Each structure stands twice: as C-alpha cells, then as structure tokens.
Amino acid sequence: MASRDKNGKIRGKIDNIVYRGYKDKQIMQIAPKRVKQTLSSKLSALEFGLAARQAKFIRSVFHNVYEECDGNMVRRLTATVAACIRTAETEIGERDLHDADLSQLKGFSFNEDAPFEKLVAVSPRLDVAGNGAIRFQLGPFVPDDDIVYPPNFYRPNGTFGIFVVAFNFREGNVQIVDYAGFDVGESDHSPTEIDWQCNKLLLEGDIVLVVLCLRYFSSNWLGQRTQTTNKDFYPSIILDAFHVSPEMAALGAADLLQPPPEDDFSSYGDTRGRIQQKIARLTTKPTKK
C-alpha cells in the first residue's frame, strides 16, 4: 500500500512498483521477483546467521570495554567472524569459531575512528607461552611525547586497559580471566614501560580474546576524573585470539598450580544450537522426485 507524504512524494508499493522519495526526487523501483534459493545458498545464509550470533556474543561481552565504536563495527566484526568460520575444514552446520583459524580476529579494531597507531607512537607486544601464560609489553615510551591527547582537555591523562576473556560459544559461556589498568599522564616526561603477565589457568576448548583499550580522563584539583566524550579518542583492539589447547590447559595446571575458576561463568544464551537444528533439517530433508 502506498501513501503520499507531507512533501507530496509517494511512498510504498503499488503492484510491483516501489515508490520512495529522496531529497526532491520521486524514485520508482521494480520490486524483484521472488527467487528460489538453492540448498547451498540457504546453508550459507544460515552459517552467516551463526557468525552474526557469535559476533554479537563478543560485542555483548566487550561493549563496556570499547564503549564507542565506528558505524560499521557490527558489520565488520560479523564479516570477520564469518571469514574465520569458513577456514574450518568441516562442513556447514558442523563448524563454528571453535573449529576455525582465528588469525583474522587479531588486530580487529572496534573503533576505526580512533586507530591506535595514530594515538600511540609505540606498538604493543603480546606473547602466549606454551603453558598459556600471556605477557603484554608496551614501551618504553614517554607519555608526554608518545601519546596524543584530546585537544582542549584540562590536565589530561590516560589509562591503558588489558582484558583477557575466555569464550565457550558451544555452551554460551564467558569468563573474565584477568584484567589490569595502567595510568599515564601528559605531565609525565620520563620514559616508562608496561610489562604485565597473566598466569591464570585456562580451560581446554575455550577461545581466548585479549583486548587492549586506551581511555582519556581529565582531573580537577580534587583528583576527580572526567572521561572525554570525543569519540575519536576511544581506541580498542583485539591483540590476540587463540584456542586453549589440551597441552596449554595441562601445562597451565601443572606449572601455575592454580585451581580452575569457579562461579565465573555467565550464560549469554544460545549461540549455535538453533541454527544447527535448522541446518540439520535442511540437509536431511527428503528431495522431491
């Protein structure tokens, strides 16, 4: 059904013609005919839906970490997760991120409007040992010279945050393994260096994401801090993404002597099961003679 808007433009559908307005123009388009999808197309669409669910799972965990994002972040993350899933050797319906090569997630930026390399002159380094120990290093650097601060920001300082989070998409669980914050200030003229290590036990089969962010604050004479509202100063990236292998879990338990985490998992809903059921129905559906 079509109707006329306040500017005199027709909006809506009449028969197979779609009417819409754009600025001062009246646009008419022919609605596409319904196309019958092949089984391959349906399976690919369902797998992309799986990627969207698992990307949303990641966003829901980290949304309080990256805080601000660029307008295309949701699309970019879903596409990256989908590309990772497609690297698995198993068939559609039998694979997810737990079967995938995760290298394409490394370096993913949640906010391309605030690239780390333009705000921080030194590059972070991250190493994952055979026993699952994670070492993060940054610097040496001079906070006054090597960090770009928001303009017109009174007494600016920054905080680097490092977050280690383990996901199990098949069970819909997530665990915050470890995190740390490191303050720097524009008034710091001496070289400084960040060298931090996470020695927490990791669980076999989990996927671990390590995220680095930088947040800017101004402080008044009472020591109270106010965070910048400038979206161009909210950099957040995934430094690493890796599977916890049986060897990592075993060596971590033996070397670190830490008990497995308890009561740290929270359910984020079904990220795989329903889509797998739909794929199973399609692939087992009898064909018509």
Q: Which residues contact 132 (CB under 8 A, 6 or more apart)?
A: 201, 202, 244, 248, 249, 251, 252, 256
pLDDT at position 281, please?
73
Instruction: Note whether 228 and 105 are same-domain residues.
Output: yes
Instruction: Note whether 16 and 132 are same-domain residues.
Output: no
Structure tokens at 194: 């960040």
- 272 vs 41, residue with greater confidence: 41
- Is residue 288 a part of any domain in this protein? no
What sign does the dihedral 219-225-226-230 (CA atoms) show? positive
Instruction: Note whether 29 and 56 are same-domain residues.
Output: no
Whole domain around residue 25: which residue ranges?
1-35
CB atoms within 10 A of CB 73: 20
| Segment 97-144, tens digit of pLDDT | 999 999 999 999 999 999 999 999 999 999 999 999 999 999 999 999
Q: If phi over 0 gives left and psi between -120 and 50 gives alpha, with beta otherwise, what is residue 243?
A: beta
Q: What is the DSSP string of 144-208?
A: HHHB---TT-SSEEEEEEEEEEEEETTTTEEEEEEEEEEEEETT--S-EEEEEEE-----TT-EE
Confidence grade of residue 262 (pLDDT, cut at 50, 70, 90): very low
Instruction: Note whether 98 and 199 are same-domain residues.
Output: yes
pLDDT at position 126, please?
97
- Is residue 264 a part of any domain in this protein? yes
Instruction: Note whether 2 and 86 are same-domain residues.
Output: no
- Is residue 286 a part of any domain in this protein? no
Is 174 a residue whose pLDDT tops 70? yes
Query: CA nearest 54: which of 33, 31, 83?
Result: 83
- Is residue 164 a part of any domain in this protein? yes
The angle, 0 to 180 degrees and rounded to 10, between the axes of the packed helices 273-284 and 39-66 is: 170
Instruction: Note whether 16 and 135 are same-domain residues.
Output: no
Question: CA 204 → CA 122, 211, 250, distances in Å?
Answer: 33, 20, 8
Q: Domains in the chain: how many in total? A: 2
- 66 vs 225, residue with greater confidence: 66
Instruction: Note whether 216 and 267 are same-domain residues.
Output: yes
Instruction: Note whether 118 and 219 are same-domain residues.
Output: yes
